[in-house]
Structure 1
């Protein structure tokens, strides 16, 4: 099932599962098999959501303003990205394999296969209810399925769990039939019909979950993991047996060629959905200057955080996402993320113009650019951050220093110059002390830049223009200590 992660839990041994007495009845949809499958839970705080917190991104629960209803972003839960591929890959696939084998060992799957010839849909309903995916039977090719993100992710997890069990059950029965002395041909035909009907129904959900990426980009983790289940895109040598099981089961659906075509079709749909999601995130979000677009002072814009969460998601799953994109000539994650970064940088520049103060505009951009560079270190934004720091110094502190060296102060005595400088320094300091810079590293960089410019110029001026009464003048060391309180918010 791809690159599976270990999950700390109570281990169920193979002997316990295979030798467990057969309590399942073909007429009992809520059999012990179904109960056992549903009891296999997914880990909490594993994968994408936990990794996001460690990386400094937003966590589930943050929100975009409710006025953002243009369809490109959700009106709430701006970065509830779910657990992502890594979280889904922590599923206890081995226990599901053992459940599938027990179905065959107990003769339960054989009974369902025989009943299918006469029961048809009723047997499928019973089978899918056991696998906890009975809702799949209500899906059709021509019926669009749109659901809330939490529903999509929940059903994707249940689908992966059900498909994994189904795959290993069919594979185990096929293996047994190869060693059967008599009746194998008839049972092989019965199994082929039942498997084909089951898998064709299961494939409807693959298209459905991919389509939901168009509605909400946050559904991409679910779509990636469902795709992994029908391909060997991320199979490691350790998981080769699981990947082989998937391919064999899918080949029962229509042969190896049809399996390859099916995977290619889903990959192309997923690639197109990723591109559409990226385009929706790259739209100029601030064009009308409405409530959704206006920056809130120097703070990182919620839309920036949301977009970078998506970039982190792609970066976290770069191997799988790139394999989906590159096969169809759609580039790779690096190129796609770089394009989004360039477009978003332009959008942020437009957004900053809604702020009234040039220095505040610079700090807003620095906060947002730093967040972007953190999400995508190869973005090339470090040079732009450096230029933005210089623009900030020119906008915020050059006017303060002009009181000492500016043309208007040229003929003023030193005491007047220092008084004007001190007054302007305090106004600037009082305002910018309330501006917030999120990153400690960026905050420290800005403080050092201000001190290097202002304190050094101030100290030099005092040295060149000593006054008789120095008691009423702020010492350079005191000024530097004060500047270390800037940008606390």
Structure 2
């Protein structure tokens, strides 16, 4: 196994799999909204029932009580119990190296290395206190290590707690030494996370680290009677403060990350930009650690002393609005008439769908979805005005005109072939828009129906009002409607 620090880029991905693209917490293709990115799907869904905002705040307000409460351990399967028993047996075999009669530092170091390796986190010993030490690691390797570290810390706490009551006095003292050495080694990862450069990845890593440190270390301190001045307690407080400071710095930078963290090359077919899947998945990963998000990014109390959502919980709506504003701004680069509106329609729908079908909806203000629906209606109207109003107008005025003498008599009139001008404009519009992409079948159907309902009846009325016009093969109203049904295939 390779060892090392987290790398200069501060990369971190909470999901699995490999990719050289920006860390993507949710990047799998969607049949519903058409958004995708080059990374494999790495979204991690919140595995527990979603509490209401009031319940969340109640949980958040009681988090500080965990430090003074030894909650009962409940294992869900015989496999978990067997795993705990296995670690307990290893622990008993290693305790002699930490007894008061043993003064060999090398023996303790070897025993600690074997102990940590049994939890598959022996690599923490290779980390420097500030996150250095060894080679840089890929983003996804960092994410894997953070997850492994959190799981190992939880298991260690249960092992120490369950066996503590069954040991002799000398063994308890040795266990305290082992626990102190273990805690000090495990804190190296927290220091490494705090030392990462400001990035979206660092915020996710900090949120993943915050709760294990804030909950497990106070429990160990009570179990082994470590006071506030004990080296482990002091180191844990310092590491936690550094993680919080780093996370808050990233939180302040998030709006800038939304604008700059993802390549902003515009898709020329008007489809959903890959950044939508990236950032909407990122926001969901933030909420996976929603209690730590509340504490790390800020919380306040109202006049009655009750917690109220501030930066931490209100940040989601702010960041989604920032993403929408950037998309609107970048859409100006799409100069073809109507393409900008199609692009914004696709992306607004993708954002709304990902929000309302996930736990993100709990942190959005009332009327948020309805506001997006109204925007989508406006985008459709804007698209029709830009793309099809000029086409239909060719059957009205024909684009021709004459000049008048001083007395008002028409001196001459340049007659135009209105059907010909209409057909030309129609073919130009269809030729371009057939290559545009509207991945969602519902939105695609709405657009096609809207185009047909505005173009075909106007064309049919023109033919009825001008029976002298000879309709060429393939240009009946019914055939025109079929022609329009091929739009937006990409």
Structure 1 distance, partners of 2:33, 2:311, is: 22
Structure 1 distance, partners of 2:33, 2:181, is: 43
Indicate conservation of the 8 Å contact 1:433/1:487, yes or no.
Answer: yes
Q: Provide closer, same or farther for how the CA distance between residues 113 and 426 of structure 1 changes in structure 2, counting only shifts above 3 A.
A: same
Give the superposition deviation at 1:81: 3.9
Structure 2 distance, partners of 1:219, 1:343, is: 20
Give the superposition deviation at 1:410: 7.5
Alignment match, 1:463? 464
Indicate conservation of the 8 Å contact 1:285/1:293, yes or no.
Answer: no
Partner SS state of residue 83, structure 2: helix
Q: Provide closer, same or farther for how the CA distance between residues 262 and 448 of structure 1 changes in structure 2, counting only shifts above 3 A.
A: farther
Q: Provide closer, same or farther for how the CA distance between residues 292 and 282 of structure 1 changes in structure 2, counting only shifts above 3 A.
A: closer
Structure 2 distance, partners of 1:123, 1:191, is: 12
Q: Provide closer, same or farther for how the CA distance between residues 190 and 210 of structure 1 changes in structure 2, counting only shifts above 3 A.
A: same
Q: Provide closer, same or farther for how the CA distance between residues 454 and 223 of structure 1 changes in structure 2, counting only shifts above 3 A.
A: same
- What's the TM-score once normalised by structure 1's chain length? 0.69
1:337 partnered with 2:316? yes
Give the superposition deviation at 1:86: 4.5
1:199 partnered with 2:183? yes
Give the superposition deviation at 1:469: 3.9
Write the mapping of 1:215-364 to structure 2, written as runs, cut at 5 A.
215=199, 217-218=200-201, 223-231=206-214, 248-252=219-223, 254-255=226-227, 258=233, 261=237, 265=241, 268-269=244-245, 271-272=247-248, 275-276=251-252, 278-283=254-259, 292-315=264-287, 318=290, 321-322=293-294, 324-327=296-299, 331=310, 335-364=314-343
Partner SS state of residue 376, structure 1: helix
Structure 2 distance, partners of 1:256, 1:96, is: 33
Partner SS state of residue 230, structure 1: helix
Write the mapping of 1:48-59 to structure 2, written as runs, cut at 5 A.
none
Q: Deviations over 1:445-466 (max 9, x none)?
A: 2112212221232233333433
Indicate conservation of the 8 Å contact 1:131/1:162, yes or no.
Answer: yes
Comparing 343-352 with 256-265, greater Cα deviation is found at 256-265
Pick from 111, 114, 119 the counterpart of residue 99 of structure 2: 114
1:148 partnered with 2:138? yes
Alignment match, 1:132? 120
Q: Deviations over 1:84-133 (max 9, x none)?
A: 6649xxx9997455433344357325335428753333332232222221
Give the superposition deviation at 1:169: 1.9
Alignment match, 2:21? none
Q: Provide closer, same or farther for how the CA distance between residues 58 and 471 of structure 1 changes in structure 2, counting only shifts above 3 A.
A: closer
Where structure 2 has 5 or more consecutive residues not aligned to the other structure, the ranges are 1-14, 18-23, 49-74, 301-307, 357-363, 403-412
Q: Provide closer, same or farther for how the CA distance between residues 193 and 58 of structure 1 changes in structure 2, counting only shifts above 3 A.
A: farther
More helix by share: 1
Alignment match, 1:388? 379
Give the superposition deviation at 1:483: 1.5
Alignment match, 2:88? 104
Indicate conservation of the 8 Å contact 2:297/2:311, yes or no.
Answer: yes
Give the superposition deviation at 1:150: 1.9
Q: Provide closer, same or farther for how the CA distance between residues 323 and 374 of structure 1 changes in structure 2, counting only shifts above 3 A.
A: farther
Indicate conservation of the 8 Å contact 1:85/1:221, yes or no.
Answer: no
Give the superposition deviation at 1:174: 1.5
Structure 2 distance, partners of 1:270, 1:58, is: 35
Structure 1 distance, partners of 2:400, 2:191, is: 71
Q: Provide closer, same or farther for how the CA distance between residues 340 and 161 of structure 1 changes in structure 2, counting only shifts above 3 A.
A: closer
Give the superposition deviation at 1:468: 6.2
Comparing 118-127 with 431-440, greater Cα deviation is found at 118-127
Structure 2 distance, partners of 1:58, 1:211, is: 37
Q: Provide closer, same or farther for how the CA distance between residues 125 and 98 of structure 1 changes in structure 2, counting only shifts above 3 A.
A: same
Q: Provide closer, same or farther for how the CA distance between residues 127 and 279 of structure 1 changes in structure 2, counting only shifts above 3 A.
A: same
RMSD: 4.1
Give the superposition deviation at 1:392: 1.0
Give the superposition deviation at 1:393: 0.8
How many residue pairs were aligned?
A: 404
Q: Provide closer, same or farther for how the CA distance between residues 103 and 419 of structure 1 changes in structure 2, counting only shifts above 3 A.
A: closer
Indicate conservation of the 8 Å contact 1:400/1:425, yes or no.
Answer: yes
Give the superposition deviation at 1:192: 2.3
Q: Which has the higher contact order (CA 8 A, sep 6+)?
A: 2
Indicate conservation of the 8 Å contact 2:34/2:350, yes or no.
Answer: no
Q: Provide closer, same or farther for how the CA distance between residues 273 and 57 of structure 1 changes in structure 2, counting only shifts above 3 A.
A: farther
Alignment match, 2:198? 214
Alignment match, 1:158? 148
Alignment match, 1:425? 426
Give the superposition deviation at 1:158: 2.6
Structure 1 distance, partners of 2:344, 2:219, is: 53
Q: Deviations over 1:220-267 (max 9, x none)?
A: 5554444343356xxxxxxxxxxxx77522544734895995796366
Structure 2 distance, partners of 1:349, 1:279, is: 15
Partner SS state of residue 481, structure 2: helix
Give the superposition deviation at 1:152: 0.6
Indicate conservation of the 8 Å contact 2:190/2:209, yes or no.
Answer: yes
Give the superposition deviation at 1:370: 2.2
Indicate conservation of the 8 Å contact 2:125/2:185, yes or no.
Answer: yes
Q: Deviations over 1:29-50 (max 9, x none)?
A: xxxxxxxxxxxxxx999xx979
